[in-house]
Amino acid sequence: MKAERVRVIDHKGKQIVFYDLSGLTGREILDPLVAGSRVVRSKPLSSVLTLVDASTLRIDLRGEGGAYDRAATDAIRGTLAGNAPYVKATAIVIGTGESKRIILEFLGRGGGRNFEPLDTVEQALDWLVTQ
């Protein structure tokens, strides 16, 4: 499990659940998402600030033979939707790929959450503490 990819950090007196998804592929993000859900869902409703570093995430939700992996996408959406009542705000560091931005925004909408896309972890942390 990739639990080490999820940790709670303090920034300017605010607790932020940090997901480090850098360097992973679509299906590989499931373990950290599930590990983070345990932390998120242990907090009061509408109280959690989350930061997702997807700056080098390799989006590929195709299964064997190159077919679209519906099960992986549904699992990701389900995890995000289950966390939604607990999350006050989410910042996501996406990097430069436009297709990456489109896919992550699609997954966010499908999971019932809005993501604030930002360019760096520092920008994301600073934005989160204003929410």
What residue ranges do the domains of the chain occupy? 3-128
Please state the pTM of the whole predicted model.
0.83
Coil, helix or strand at residue 28 = helix
Q: Which CATH superfamily is domain 3-128 in?
A: STAS domain (3.30.750.24)
Give the C-alpha separation, 89 to 131, whole Å.
7
Over its length of 131 residues, how does the chain's per-residue pLDDT go in tens digits? Answer: 345 899 999 999 999 999 998 888 767 888 898 899 999 999 999 999 999 998 887 766 565 665 566 777 788 888 888 999 999 999 988 866 665 666 666 666 655 567 788 889 999 999 999 99
